[in-house]
A and B are shown apart, each in its own frame.
Chain A
Amino acid sequence: MRCKGEVGDMNKKRKRSFLALLLCIAALLVYPEPVSAGEATVTFGSNYYRATDNEEFPIGVYLNGDAPIGAYHVELAYDTSRLTYLGGGDGEEDGVITLEGVGLHNQVKYMLRFHTKSGGTAEVTVENAVIETAAQDGETAERFDVTTLATAPVYIEGEDIAAEQEAEETEEAEVPVAGGVPVLAEIETDGAAAYIVDAASYIPEETDWQYEKLSGTFGDTEVTWLTNSMQTVKFLYLADADGRLSLYAYSESAKQLYPCNSLVTNGTKYYYMSPAVCENWPEELTLDAVRSEFIVYAMDMSGQCGFYRLGADNELLEWKPNEGEQAIKRQNRKLIVVLGTAIVLMIAAVFATITADRRKRRQQKKITAKTQKASDDFVEDLSLDVTEEEIRSWYEEAQENYQKGAPVISVEHVTMRFRIATQNVSGIKEYLIQLMKRQVSYRELLALSDVSFRVYPGEIVGIIGTNGSGKSTLLKIVSGALSPTSGKVAVDRKKLQLLTLGTGFDMELTARENVYLNGAIIGHTREFLDAHYDEIVAFAELEGFMEEKVRNFSSGMVSRLGFAIATAGETAEILILDEVLSVGDEFFRKKSLARIKEMIHGGATVLMVSHSMQTIVDNCTKVVWIEKGVLRMEGEPREVCRAYRENRDG
């Protein structure tokens, strides 16, 4: 028997082989000379079709003969509940399409068009085919031996309306026993009643694999099993009350039925079920593997069974024993290598750093020893740097130079109001509690009240006042860090430089890194810092300490570095000094004072805050006195300072 190995109806195959045998015998008996009747097939373009609901799709039908085809008559049945025939054949009546005509060549093609009207699985089947050879040279036409009458399932995506309708219809009919299907006994599966279909008297149409019948028992019921050709797997059909059939496979050891589903992989249809159905598991197959790799037991149309992996797209993949385990082992091996390399790298790096650190420390000691000497020399030079008299004379000079022009800084009616919660609420919980108690009250703090003054080019203006009088707030407003509640400050912020010490210093970084960080924050460019780096280091007297972390510096060293960075390079046109002149040791204080003088002398306009009355009196051309946010006095330094002192003491 020839097997085309395609989806075919077993029944028909048998009939076909029987017919072929008969024909052969008949031919032998009737005709002494065997006449080649030729063979023909009726097939579809594909083993199955996929379509979605409410869509038009074609099905190709092919009549193939060994010899040219003459007259033919083929009938195809289709599922009328799910498909509407649109055309392409030679006629249609009651769900049967007729293909009729006379061919010329070995093949006749038809393209049938259908329209889907419901989801589910519809079937198109070649029911009947009579094909004759083409009559040539006066020979009479002979009938082809039609060997294949194909069936093609059409899987339609969408709601299965047809099945529902069918169900309704059968329900209405109220057939007592499983919708007309002969059944044996009632059993329970998944909580619903089901009936065992009597396979002895009724083989459902959808049985499309090569089956054998085998009688046996299921529980207490005598049943006829449908088995695969090797009789290794036993199947039963169960019908529900509506006569809907589903296929189950039986596990001898578990005495249990497992549902079977079908799927199509690479054009071949398989029935798949739980691996429990198979009695002899290969050694490598464990429950673990079944669960983690989605292993199923599957049977093809010829009854061959085997274990497969069920893929993500509902397809069967070859299962190789141990593959999963090996993949995990491979992966874990790689991971261990990665982890190992990382740890080795880490240890290597730790060693490298420790040795580098030790070497650095040794070098540092040498440098520190050297610089200690150098700075000793340097300090001596400083002692004859500046005297108080000189400072005073510089200041007088500056005062002479100072001319009135357009104001550089003009503070007009500046008022600053802070809202301060009376209770310090720093958490949401507290806030909510207080909100509930309606206790979130704010106190208005008037930091500055209608303050106005002007600073002209070349002026050096000092701001005095007790702590919390609003001096710092005023500086912040002038420098632009704060916006006033009302009033206006007119100043060209591009020309303005705020000198504060150590802002943006990071204790964890080295001095060199801090020069760049701090420099960037207070507005120096990279090029500028590169160019003035040596100058800054020299001024701060920190040669040899620059690679050291600032964490290890004394506070004097930090302020020196801060001062050096802040005052490096050319002087800005407007300088704002916030408590700058009380930095470091005595020598450095003089040095920094001298630097400030130099800047002032260079024609800068200065606004400064200092607690040292002496510094104010010595340097300023004008003093502004603020008390509790109100401008109390503005004028000649000595005069204002005297008034301030009297007020404080008295």
Chain B
Amino acid sequence: MSGQIDEGLRSELQRQGIWVTSMQDLYNWGRRSSIWPLQFGLACCAIEMIATAASRYDLARFGGEIFRPSPRQADLMIVAGTVTKKMAPQIVRLYNQMPDPKYVISMGACAISGGPFKQGYNVLKGIDRYIPVDVYIPGCPPRPEALLHAFMELQRKIDGQKLTGDNRAEHLNPAQPSEFPVPAFGAHDLEPPANPDVFEPPKIERT
């Protein structure tokens, strides 16, 4: 384990032409270098996501260029755009169909909180009401650089994940659910309006 290798010894060995690594580092390096996003977009943020994947911004530099059209082959869900209440159950279902380990980037004001449509009757006030989110990107829409930054943040997170021990990565913990209940279409709203196991309304200090 990387924690057990003396950092000074490792760099000394590296200087002598010997590269020492650990199973965990190798495993995380492989995972973070080939994050395959799920290929779907919801609104204008998707246009920025497409630009990020295209040649000018080139998500391929970070190993994320292979957008998969099937959730079975995807590691990352980029929720790019407004999640309407009619679409929300399908998003949760797609998330449930992704294999572990899986990550979610909530891209743009709409996916975070409903954004400019927050007071509307038909828009979900943030995808984190139903599924856990790893990285939030503010912006309306965020620029491709912001998505790249979020991608690098996610890579940093994956790099830091432990394979064993008490604080090992969530997907290695058998008690951690990998599927979440799909909300049902109700008479007036989605039922339930939020999953209390995942979502807690933010407590703001009103001073």
A joins B in a complex: no
Binding site for A on B (CB under 8 A): none
Binding site for B on A (CB under 8 A): none
